[in-house]
Structure 1
Amino acid sequence: MYDFLTTSPWPDYELIDSGNFQKLERFGKYILARPEPQAIWDPHLPLKEWEKADAAFARAPGSTEKGQWRLKPSMPEQWVIAYERPDGLKLKFRLGLSSFKHVGLFPEQDPNWQFIYNQTRKRRAKLPRVLNLFAYTGAATLAARAAGADVTHLDSVKQVNFWARDNMEASQLDGVRWLVEDAMKYVRREVKRGSKYQGLILDPPAYGRGPNGEKWQLEDELNEMLKLSQQLLDPEDHFFVVNLYSLGFSALILDNLTTAIFPGPKAVRELGEIYLHDAGQRKLPLGTFCRFAT
C-alpha cells in the first residue's frame, strides 16, 4: 500500500507558503525563505508576506548548493526551538543558518521521529540497540534515546556531530555514542563482527563524502547498504526506517529493494512519500520512505 506521511500540528514550526521554487517557513518566532526545487507552482500568499521573512537565502552565482543568507537586524544566526508530542516525546533543537540553505532540522521527518520513539518504547525493557546512519544533527537519534535506547549516532562530518551533541544537551539527554565514520565501512565491519540491532535508521544523501574522502552515490550504494542493514537487524525483534530525498527517486524503487532484501511478513510496513502542507493546502513532496517493524 502506498502511504503519505505529513507533519502533525507543531507550535514551533509552520510551512507558511510555497511556490516559485521557494518555501516560506516559521521556526519558532523567526520566518525564513529558502529554495525548494519541487515547489514549481505559484505562491499562495502575496509578495509582501514573503518580504516579512527574517532571513532569506540566495544562491551564489553558478552554484546549485551554496549561497548566502540575507538577514534582518533582529535575526540571530542561532536559536533554539521546542518539539513536544502528546505521546511524551519532548526535544529541543538548536538551529543555525548554513551556507547550504539548511538550518539543522528537517521538520517533515516528524512522523518518523514519532515512529522511532514509539517503536523504541515498545522494546524499552530490553534496552534496545539502535543505529542511526547518516544521522546529521540527531533528531532521530534523540527520539530513540528519549525512549530508552542504547543509540549509536554515525555521521561523516565532525561538526555535525558536535551540533547533534548540542541538541542532546538542550534536550536534557545523555549517553549517545558518537561516531565520525564512513557509513558503508562501518556497517561492513559490524556485519563481520556479528553485531545486531533492534532499530536501524537510514537517511542517506543523494551524494556525499566520508571523513577520508570515501564516495557515496545513492543509486550505486543503496542496494548494498540495505543488504548489510538486513544482516544487522535482530531477526526476531526490530524496526527499520529508511528515508530518501532525491529528485526523481521513486518510492517504487524502495518497494522493490525492501521487498527483495527484507522478505517475510511484517507487523507494520509502510511505504510512500513524505510531504508538508502549507497554508494554501498545497502538498510539498519532501522525500520517499519505507518503514516496518516485527
Structure 2
Amino acid sequence: MAELVEQPLLMVGEGWDGYRLLDSGNGRKLESFGAYRFIRPEPQAMWQPRQGDWQADGEFLPGADEDGGGRWEFATRLPEDGWPLSWNETRFTAQPTPFRHLQFFPDMAPVWEWMRDRLSEREDAETLNLFGYTGVGSLALSRHGKVTHVDASKKSVAQARENAVLSGMEDKPIRWLVDDAGKFAAREVRRGNRYDGIILDPPKFGRGPKNETWRLEEGLPDLIRDCRQLLDEGSSFLFLTVYAVRMSSLSIAGLLSEALAALPGKIEHGDLAVRETGEDGRILPTAIFARWSNPR
C-alpha cells in the first residue's frame, strides 16, 4: 500500500545557463531567458526587490481581474520566431505568449530530473505526458523509451514537434497527439494499456480540441482514477503539478493516496519553487505538486 508522507517537500530549481530568476518582489519577478530579460507578475513575491532598477526587454502587464488577461510591452525588438534555449540535451524555442509564459515552464526542471532518476538507466520505458504543452518534458523522457505526448492545443503540439527537430530528436519514439487529456486517458483504460510513468500538468480551466470544457476541481478526480488504471506494480511514477489555485498540496496528495492506495511505494507532496541567483537567493514558490514513486 502506498504510504502518504504528510510532511511537505520543496523541489527547488536553481536555474541554468538558459534561465535565471534574477530578482523578485512587489508582486513581480525579473528573469533572464537566454540573452533577454523579462518582468512578469508573481503574486507570491510579497517581499521587496533586492535590485533598485529592473532593466528588461519586455514586461507583461496583467489585466484587471485575477483570472487572466493582460498584455506585453517590449523595450527591445525580439526575434520574430523566438530564440533557442537548452536544458541538458533538449533544445526548445522561447517566445513571449499572450498567456504571460515563454513557451516552457522553467520551474519544471527539477521535475524532469526527478522523473529521469526514477527511470534510471532504462531505455525501454513507456511514459505518458498529459497536458504536455510544448514538449520539453516529453523530450527529456524520450531518453528512456517511448513517450506519448497529449495536449488539446494544436499550436502547442506543433511547437513541440519543432522543438524535437531543434533538439535533433525528431526520430525519437514520441507520439504527438492533439487530444483531450481526459478522453484520451479513458480510452487508454478501455484499451487495457499501461505506462511506466505519467506526468500531468492540468490547467485550472481549459478547453479541448472539440471545445470540451475542463475545470480542475471537477475533472481531476476522474482523470487521476483513470491514470491509476494505467499504472501497475511495475510502474515507476506519477507526477501531478497544479498552478494558480487556492488549494493545498496535501489536498492533491490525498487524492493520489485514495486512487493509488493498492500500489506499493510512497506519495509525497509540496511546493515547486525557483531560487534567485546570487548569494542567499530567496526561494520563490510557483506551484504545488503531488507525486507517487515506486522504488521496485
Partner of 2:83: 79
CA contact (8 A) 1:6 1:276 kept: yes
Q: CA deviation at 1:74?
A: 4.5
Partner of 2:73: 70
Q: Which residues in structure 2 correspond to 1:137-156 (within 5 Å)?
A: 137-145=134-142, 147-156=143-152
Q: Which residues in structure 2 correspond to 1:5-16 (within 5 Å)?
A: 5-16=11-22
Partner of 2:92: 93
Residues 169-208 of structure 1, C-alpha deviations (whole Å, 9 max, x = no match):
1111123111111111111111111111111111101111
CA contact (8 A) 2:257 2:267 kept: no
Q: CA deviation at 1:67?
A: 2.7
2:15 and 2:100 map into 1 onto residues whose CA distance is: 24
Partner of 1:242: 240
1:63 and 1:151 map into 2 onto residues whose CA distance is: 35
Q: Which moved more, 1:236-245 or 1:64-73?
A: 64-73
Q: CA deviation at 1:269?
A: 4.0
- Is it true that 1:26 corresponds to 2:32 in the alignment? yes
SS at match of 1:66: strand
1:66 and 1:14 map into 2 onto residues whose CA distance is: 25
2:129 and 2:60 map into 1 onto residues whose CA distance is: 29
Partner of 1:226: 224
TM, length-normalised to structure 2:
0.89
Q: CA deviation at 1:266?
A: 4.3
Partner of 2:281: 281
Q: Which residues in structure 2 correspond to 1:186-205 (within 5 Å)?
A: 186-205=184-203
SS at match of 1:137: coil
Amino acid at match of 1:159: K
1:60 and 1:290 map into 2 onto residues whose CA distance is: 30
Q: CA deviation at 1:64?
A: 4.6
SS at match of 2:139: helix
Partner of 1:87: none
2:240 and 2:66 map into 1 onto residues whose CA distance is: 29
1:142 and 1:8 map into 2 onto residues whose CA distance is: 21
1:253 and 1:31 map into 2 onto residues whose CA distance is: 35
Partner of 2:103: 104
1:112 and 1:203 map into 2 onto residues whose CA distance is: 11
Residues 1-45 of structure 1, C-alpha deviations (whole Å, 9 max, x = no match):
311011134122110111122110001111111112222222221
CA RMSD of aligned residues (A): 1.8
CA contact (8 A) 2:189 2:226 kept: yes
Query: Which consecutive aligned stretches of 4+ in structure 1 deviate over 6 angstroms post-superposition?
Result: none
After superposition, the Cα gap between the structure-2 partners of 1:171 and 1:212, relative to the gap in structure 1 and judged at 3 Å, is same
Partner of 2:153: 157
Q: CA deviation at 1:60?
A: 4.7
Amino acid at match of 2:76: P
1:259 and 1:269 map into 2 onto residues whose CA distance is: 7
Identity across the alignment (%): 35
Q: CA deviation at 1:215?
A: 0.9
Q: Which residues in structure 2 correspond to 1:202-217 (within 5 Å)?
A: 202-217=200-215
Partner of 1:42: 48
Q: CA deviation at 1:270?
A: 3.0
After superposition, the Cα gap between the structure-2 partners of 1:40 and 1:206, relative to the gap in structure 1 and judged at 3 Å, is same
Partner of 1:58: 61
1:262 and 1:207 map into 2 onto residues whose CA distance is: 25
The count of aligned residue pairs is 283
After superposition, the Cα gap between the structure-2 partners of 1:190 and 1:264, relative to the gap in structure 1 and judged at 3 Å, is closer
CA contact (8 A) 2:15 2:21 kept: no
After superposition, the Cα gap between the structure-2 partners of 1:64 and 1:217, relative to the gap in structure 1 and judged at 3 Å, is closer
TM, length-normalised to structure 1:
0.90
Q: CA deviation at 1:255?
A: 1.9
For structure 2, the 5+ residue unaligned runs are 1-6
Q: Which has the higher contact order (CA 8 A, sep 6+)?
A: 2
After superposition, the Cα gap between the structure-2 partners of 1:61 and 1:3, relative to the gap in structure 1 and judged at 3 Å, is closer
